[in-house]
Chain A
Amino acid sequence: MSWDFLAGQFAAQFGLWWLIVPGILLGIVVGILPGFSPQNTLIMLLPLTLALPVEQAFAFMVSLYCANHLAGGVPAILVRIPGSGGAAATTLDGYPMTRKGQAQQALVLSFVASVAGGLITTLATLALLPWLSQIGLYLRSVEMVVVMLFGLTLIAVIAARDTLKALIAGFLGLLIGVIGTDHIYNAPRATFGFLELYDGVPLVAALIGLFAVSEALVMIEEKMIVAREGRERAMRASWADTLDGLRIAARKWWHIVWTSFVGLFIGIVPGAGASIAAFVAYQQSRLWSRHPELYGTGVPEGVIAPEAANNGVTSGTLVPMMALGVPGGTTAAVMMIVLQYHGMVMGPRLFQTDPGLAYGVFVAMAVAYVFMIFTILPFARYMARIVLIETTYLAPIIILVTIVAAFSERQYLFDMALALVFGVIGYIAHKTNYHVTAMLIGIILGPLFEQYLVRALRISEGDVLVLFSSTLGNVLWGLLVLSLVLPYVRRLRRPQTVA
């Protein structure tokens, strides 16, 4: 791959702005609405993408996909409703920033972290593609068990304030995650006779209920989302706040870089997704912070880490598809359908037979990120105004529209009722200080953890020691233990330092 080739690719992709910009705008709309996934949107748009030449179809699809990952953070920050599972961790610090009247800064931080994280990892992928494609081969079920545990330890991190309550919420989430058919015998488990639960608890319904509906029920008691002391600041918000957000993001550039690589490496593993990456990045960010106690109160790093990571995932997801012919996620699988329709055979040979397409996909992604920052950044100021709408109007709109959105993932009325049930559970949890994020971590990561664990145990015919059988796995175990022990060591050392 020569510089001339790359320059030609970039020039060609910039020429596709007329597809990239609509893709970005559609991706933003789909990302902001909980219940809409990029894969469903791409499936609906298949007649369009199949009709386009493959390079153009890909420019449109990756733009939509990347913008979707970016936009999920917008409702997470403004109204504590993650647009997707990958944005759930953003609520932890994004929403407290909004409550303090810093919604605009939080949005700018989220946009810059998403774009910079996505761009850096895409360029890294372009440069290191042959080597990165090997990572997926090394991270097998044994190693993925430990990666999942990294995410699950966030429950313990959240537990810092009330260990017992957060653990109860986390384990309740894990228990809810068990609902569905089991991975060995395909027998229904805790489905209570509902056929709709055979595929497990739908994530969108859980997300909407636990965050959107419960938060709207809580916000009824206040006039506005923004706390009284932050209201004046939110009303005075100007372009200076956008610049302030940019300044903070520039100061935290290293944080954006390393957390985006967490997303890239997790994204490369087929089946692992943005939710895991965002939770792991948030957990690691808090772990290595000098002030971990401030996380959850509205710190910029708490917004940067999950957003950079969930956009770092975007290029990682395409690596196994392009290099090995294995789709890294459902969106990649839809993209693969388009490629196969055009007669492309995925795998290592594609880089010799059609380098323009193989590398062009990642170049299109990089170009989409460049367009994205100019498309969305000016809107931060106006988006932040949403928090000034009175809850009298906002609460019913949130409850009814998100309940409608719960339908769109699987098209079952059952999911709307389930979202309402989760809303009531979330409200009770909120009011009694049981952390809903801990519950959601259990619901998202529990089934994945079980899936990898069962796969590893099946390969070893039930021998638990298989979990300690690989060098990389053991290194990850060591890091996991270190990440659990380190906060306590720090806490022990802190009084001595003060003394």
Chain B
Amino acid sequence: MLIGTLLVGLVILQLARIGRSLARGSGDLRMDPLWLPREALAKRVGMVLLTAAFIVALEWLGLTLALLVAMALALRLLGVRSPGTIAWVSCAVAGVVYLLFVAILDSAFPHGPIEQLLARLFA
């Protein structure tokens, strides 16, 4: 209650400060810092959406496959063009994460086809 009241008070002060700078003509309500530079905006939004999709897909695809796909798409989104580079970076990251999180630390990540196959191979 106390923290919330103080926070509301501070926000009102900030709004008053913004209002004052608007009245003086020294400020504006544009949100440019959030969007600029424009060429990075699509990459940023894309990365957030891709990460959200990765979290959702994790339950169906399992950690390794979901990460492999997400990594490849993310690299493509950020401008890597070479299919070879995309493939080896994605495989390396997914492999290291599998080794560390699933094979060594035995974290309770959802298991997908790759984890099941590897578990059968090394069982």
Contact = CB atoms under 8 A, between A and B. Distances in A.
Query: Is chain B a partner of chain A in the same complex?
Result: yes
Contacts of B52: 417, 420
B10 A407 contact: no
Contacts of A496: none
Interface residues of B, number: 45
A459 interface: no
Interface string B83-123: 00000010001000100110001111110000000000000
B71 interface: yes
B75 A167 contact: no
Interface of B: 3-4, 6-7, 10-11, 13-14, 17, 33-34, 37, 39-40, 43-44, 47-48, 51-52, 54-55, 58-59, 63, 67, 70-71, 74-75, 77-80, 89, 93, 97, 100-101, 105-110
B106 A393 contact: no
The secondary-structure label for the interface of chain B is helix
Nearest to A165: B14
Contacts of B6: 171
A72 B17 CA distance: 39
11 contacts: A44-B106, A216-B47, A221-B39, A221-B40, A392-B80, A396-B71, A399-B47, A408-B105, A413-B55, A413-B58, A413-B59
Contacts of A431: 33-34
B104 to A, nearest CB: 9
Interface in A423-476: 423-424, 427-428, 431-432, 446
A468 to B, nearest CB: 19
Interface string A193-225: 000000000000000000001001100110000
A404 B101 contact: yes
Given A175-B3, A220-B40, A392-B80, A401 B14 contact: no
A404 B48 contact: no
A160 interface: no
Contact of B55 (A164, A174, A403): A403
A178 B48 contact: no
Contacts of B59: 413
A168 B48 CA distance: 25
Nearest to A414: B55
B33 A408 contact: no
A172 B7 contact: yes
A420 B105 CA distance: 23
B54 to A, nearest CB: 7
Contacts of A393: 75, 80, 89
Contacts of A216: 47
Given A44-B105, A395-B78, A428-B34, 13 more contacts: A168-B10, A217-B48, A220-B40, A220-B43, A220-B44, A391-B78, A400-B54, A400-B71, A404-B101, A407-B109, A408-B105, A420-B48, A431-B33
A164 B14 contact: yes
Interface string A379-393: 000000000000111
Nearest to B39: A221
A397 interface: yes
A331 B40 CA distance: 42
Contact of B3 (A171, A220, A397, A427): A171
B114 to A, nearest CB: 15
Nearest to B79: A392
B51 A400 contact: yes
Contacts of B71: 396-397, 400
Given A411-B107, A428-B34, A431-B33, A416 B78 contact: no
A221 B37 contact: yes
A44 B106 CA distance: 9
Contact of A168 (B14, B44, B70): B14
A420 B55 contact: yes
